[in-house]
Amino acid sequence: MPETMLCGVTLKNPVIAASGTFGFGAEYGRLFDVSKLGAICTKGLTLHPREGNPGMRVWETPAGMMNSIGLQNPGIPAFLEHELPRMRTMGTAIIANVGGGDLEEYVEGVRLLSEAESIDIIELNISCPNVHEGGMAFGIKANVAAGVVAAVRRVCRKPLMVKLSPNAENIADMAVACERAGADAVSLVNAFNALAIDIHARKPVFDNVTAGLSGPAIKPIALRMVWEAAHAVRIPVVGIGGITTWQDAVEFLMAGATAVQVGTATFVKPTAMLDIVDGLERYCAAEPLTRL
C-alpha cells in the first residue's frame, strides 16, 4: 500500500493501532515489529491520572467483546515524561488519544500534548461521559460536541482528529458539526453502548451497567456510519470498527475512509495488522483502489 497522507502527516501505510487496544506500543513491541504500522494511537489519556473501573472489565460476546476499562491511564504529564520518549523510538507516527470529564480537562490536556514535539496528531475522544451533564457523553449531541471541539481547537497546535461515538444522535450531522468547529479529520467509530446480564448473579456483568461493544459484530454498522460521514464532510475520515482482515479494510477505504484503525482484531491475532498491511499492498498492486 502506498504511503497515506492524513491531515498533513505522512503515514507508511493506512493501518493504525486503535486507542486502548495497544497500550503505548511497548507490550506488542515485544512480539512484533511495530514500526511496520502506519501509526499507533495511545491509550486514552486524561489530564489527571485515572484508576479505571472496578469489577469486570472485559466480556466476550458473539463475534465481539464488551469493555469497561474506565480510561485507566497515568495522566498526561506522566505520559509525556515516561511513555512518550519510549514511543518516539518505535519508528511509527504517534497519535495521542485524549479524553476528559469536562471542558477544562480537555482543553488543558490538549494544550499540554500540543507542546510535545514527537506527537503527530491529536485524537479527541468525545465518547467520555460529561461529569457536569449527568454523565451523558460529549459525543451524543452535535452542539455539545462542537463546543468541545471549538474550545480545544483554540489551544491545539497539532492536526486535530475527532473520534466520533456511534451513539451520536446522527452521525453525519455530528461529523459536519465537528468539521465546522475546526476538526482536521474525524475517526469513527468508538465502541457501541451495550449491556450484558449475568443471569446466575441476576445483575449486570459490569459495575457501570453498560459497556462498549467492539469487534466483528459492529463492522457492518460501523461501515455504514463511515460511509455516511465520508459523504457529509470534506475532511479525511478514518474508519474504525471490527476490522479484522485486509478485505474489511478495503471495504472501509471504498466507503470513503483515508485510513483505518484496528482494535479488537489484535486480541484475536496479535499480528492481524501486519496481515492487513500485506493484504492491502497486494491488493493495491493488482488493482486500483476505488472510492465509491
Partner 1 sequence: MTSPSPAYIEEALVLAQDRLTNDVYRLTVEATTGGSPGQFYMVRAWDREPLLARPISIHDADEGTISLLYQVRGRGTELLARLHKGDTVALMGPLGNGFTMENLHGRVGIVTGGIGIAPMFYLASTLPARSATVIAGFKSTPYAVAALLSLGVEVYVATEDGCEGTRGFCTDIFDPAAFDVVVTCGPTPMMARVAQLCAQAGVPCQASLEAHMACGIGACLGCTFPTTSGYKRVCADGPVFDAAEVIWHA
Ligand X SMILES: Cc1cc2nc3c(=O)[nH]c(=O)nc-3n(C[C@H](O)[C@H](O)[C@H](O)COP(=O)(O)O)c2cc1C
Which residue numbers are catalytic? 128
Q: How far is the CB of 70 from ligand X (least distance, A)?
A: 9
Quick check: 234 and 185 in contact, CB under 8 A? Answer: no
Distance from C-alpha of 95 to C-alpha of 119, rounded to nearest angstrom:
6
What angle separates helix 142-155 from helix 171-180, to the nearest 10 degrees?
A: 30
Burial of 126: CB neighbours in 10 Å, binned 0-12, 13-18, 19+: buried
Measured CA to CA in angstroms, residue 224 lies from 184, 218, 221 at distances of 21, 10, 5
Distance from C-alpha of 96 to C-alpha of 45, rounded to nearest angstrom:
8
Could you tell me which residues come within 8 angstroms of residue 230 by beta carbon, excluding any fewer than 6 positions away? 237, 255, 256, 257
Q: Which H or E element spans position 88?
A: helix 84-88
Q: How far is the CB of 22 from partner 1 (least distance, A)?
A: 6
Beta carbon nearer to ligand X, 251 or 285: 251
Binding mask 17-56 for ligand X (x = CB under 6 A): -xxxx---------------------xx------------
Beta carbon nearer to partner 1, 57 or 111: 57
Angle CA 58–68–119, to nearest 5: 105
Beta carbon nearer to partner 1, 268 or 292: 268
Under the criterion CB under 6 A, does residue 191 sit at the interface with ligand X?
Answer: yes
Q: Which residues bind partner 1 (CB under 8 A)?
A: 20-23, 27-28, 30-32, 43, 51-52, 54, 56-65, 67, 69, 72, 215-216, 264, 266-271
Quick check: 185 and 6 in contact, CB under 8 A? Answer: yes
Q: How far is the CB of 180 from ligand X (least distance, A)?
A: 22
Beta carbon nearer to ligand X, 8 or 220: 220
Under the criterion CB under 6 A, does residue 165 sit at the interface with ligand X?
Answer: no
Binding mask 63-102 for ligand X (x = CB under 6 A): ----x-x-x-------------------------x-----
What grid cell was written down for 37? 504500522
What grid cell was written down for 190? 468508538
Distance from C-alpha of 3 to C-alpha of 5, rounded to nearest angstrom:
7
Stretch that binds ligand X, among 75-83, 84-92, 111-119, 235-243 (CB under 6 A): 235-243
Binding mask 124-153 for ligand X (x = CB under 6 A): -x----------------------------
Q: How far is the CB of 189 from ligand X (least distance, A)?
A: 6
Stretch that binds ligand X, among 12-20, 76-84, 134-142, 172-180 (CB under 6 A): 12-20
Binding site for ligand X (CB under 6 A): 18-21, 43-44, 67, 69, 71, 97, 125, 163, 190-191, 214-215, 218, 240-243, 262-265
